[in-house]
Structure 1
Amino acid sequence: MWHRLFSFAALIILLQKDADAQDASYGVDCSFPIFSKDLKCGDLLGDRKAVYDEFMDGCRKFYGAKGNRCDTTEDDRIAMDIYQPQSMVNYTSTGFKKIKAPKAVMDLLLDHWNKNKQDRKEERWPAGNIYVNHWSSPTYMVSVEDHSLRGGGYKLKTDIWDAVKSTIEEWTGMEQNPISMYGIRVYTDGAILNPHADRLPLVSSCIINVAQDVDEPWPLEVYDRNNNAVNVTMEPGDMVLYESGSLIHGRPFALKGKYFANIFIHFEPTGRRLHDNSDEYLDDLDSFLPPYVIPDSPGAAEWSKKNPQGWKKPTPSAPIQQINSPESHYAAAHGDLSRLESALQKDHRLLHKKDNNGWLPLHEATRAGHQDVVEFLIKNGADINARTGRTGEGSTPLNLALAYHGPDHDLCKYLQSLGAANLPDNGEL
């Protein structure tokens, strides 16, 4: 059975019970702000307000004249913590589960890590990003999709997805399509991960701890269906399954040690139940919303604003990732620059080839926020003002960038620097 989270009012009641109890367990707004910046648990966990204030002040000082973006981003995080979890279909009773990662995926990850850990690259964050205190504890990447690293690239990425997919599907009971992969990300001493729910379409996910050198365990804090904090410790080879779009999760207690290396692997439910070989489920899907967003919920309204063209509903007997059949579209949507380069070398016409919904590779890369891919496509002749839709009356890349990422995103600024036009959708996909 699918479960919905409690309403916000019910969450506050649960919070008050935890705050009054003052025992070893605690709820939201204790270790770090979740729904409110007014922490509720006194000195139960020490002076957490001082820790939070130092966290935010560090961001403001680091970004100087742009420091106000720290507060804007933080307010957005808290707002999403409130509206998104209550708006999601939940496919499991607990929302999270710790297991051992499949041997096949650990073999791939450890091989890549051991070959490339010395060549890690510092991760760059947008101005004002408050999800990790990168200003005092830099994060690094040993990316599995980085084709400049030994063994890195599209094949490794898809091999990892394939090795994990069945585990995610069996846990959720739903058919899943791969949507995103971050890492291997390396956190350093003092790192704090701000508790949050993942932005959609990151819905059914897992964290795998690849390696660590710590002085003490660095707990992953998640909030169960009753909004009690649960601290989950991880060792190399551990895998935490979690419904990342609805489960608030973070690491609010500073890392003590040299490093902690994780990879984050994300999937999106198609709406089809696992082992259902028919197309009858298509009749039950909303014509606009994805199957994991509850209609008429606060999150549905927010999703609709950010996705005015709606969700790409699967066609009969074809999963979502096969709708954009040209290889160039798939590579652009997933940020696989090496695969895109190879496809265009074979057939440069793919640069201007539309899919069944009238989308170009440039549109897919823009929606996903892959600026390196967008730059590559434009430099190779893509039209910066090409419009989506079968008759070319849909959105331009700049319109998509503004809708999906906001005016302060570097991708928007890049397109604007080229004189791109902000032409909205006239009713086309």
Structure 2
Amino acid sequence: MSITTAPAPLAAADSEALAQRYRDVRALSLALAAPLSDADATAQSMPDASPAKWHLAHSSWFFETFVLRDHLPGYRLVDERWPYLFNSYYEAEGERHARPRRGLLTRPALDEVLTYRARVDEAFLSALPMLAETCPELIELGLQHEQQHQELLLTDIKHLFSCNPLGPALWPPVHEPQHYPTPLVWHAGPEGIVEIGAGAAGFAFDNERPAHPALLAPHALANRTITNGEWFEFIDDNGYATPTLWLSDGWDWVNRESVEHPLYWRRSHHVWEQFTLAGWQPVDPAAPVTHVSFYEADAYAAWAGARLPTEQEWEAAARTADPMAGVQLDGPGPVGPRFEEAGEGFTSLFGNVWEWTGSAYRPYPGFRTAPGAVGEYNGKFMSSQFVLKGGSCATPRGHVRASYRNFFHPHQRWQFTGLRLAKDL
């Protein structure tokens, strides 16, 4: 069983198009990291995050290992010591450097990692006509994998910079005119039997398949995500101090970690500020709230007299939405959730913030892991996590779709995570 549906052998023009797509994806990673110093790219702010230098190297290791080493006869690794450093979690690939200690990798230096990327690129592009015939599904997986790491690179740098008392900015801020929140409106979602998951055609990660029927009871979804201004009301109404709103594990987490507001928020001279990739900025009441955990999202929904949508409800509603729309990552520059004017239907189903669902991250009926190391990509994480949908402002445009399943532990919130409400009808 393959990770993707493999396309037919490519014509010359298609091969060049694939080469250009490879160059574009790889170039974006470099552009995102371009403002970083060697020190910026080496430091690690917490065990959940990784240094930018490691992201750049790991995504190259993925291509070198699963494409070049395994499918290009005679290929020799750039450095035989580096798989130990840049393997992430693939047990089949042997021992590896511990994730919480990646910030100790002062060597290889950033320049050496960039040279490593260039050598992998040279070998890949030279052999692309042959590789496109022998392992097209792995090439596509590698590109999609690198796009995931582009978002992780940004979110990890944001966390790192937030720990610096100077509040450094990756990019200068963009000041937009003041907006006013669009009223929250409920729209009835599809009900009855619907198809969930990715079909057989085109790329999808293994956790999106197989497509299967799901039964939806009558329900409604909010037209937009919850805003910062609405979160102010939750805080002012002692939402963080009301135990009846919280799941037991969430209440323990709130008290253990002394959580009183979303991550990256602070009060300064009686004004709420938030840390962004453009440094400390005033909180925009009209923008989607972000960097909240599943526990916070669930407590807010209870406070609002609603609930979180299931992933099936969310996906059914998003089937006809344009996954290329919304606030997503188009290139280097200011990144953050922004106000979007609501129309008659749903707003920001794609982009802005990953939306927590109430669904546990578990396999679909009939799910099977792929053979070999790439089978470890998603399946072994289907425990103790919750599904998020829709992508964020840091997700490369074109990477997500309605069936896409992101997943995180319920306490994690350094990603661009927010929420949309649902209710039973």
Alignment TM class, shorter chain as reference: under 0.3
Using CA pairs below 8 Å that are at least 6 residues apart, which structure has the higher relative contact order? 2
Larger proportion of strand: 1
Q: Which TM-score applies when normalising by structure 2?
A: 0.27
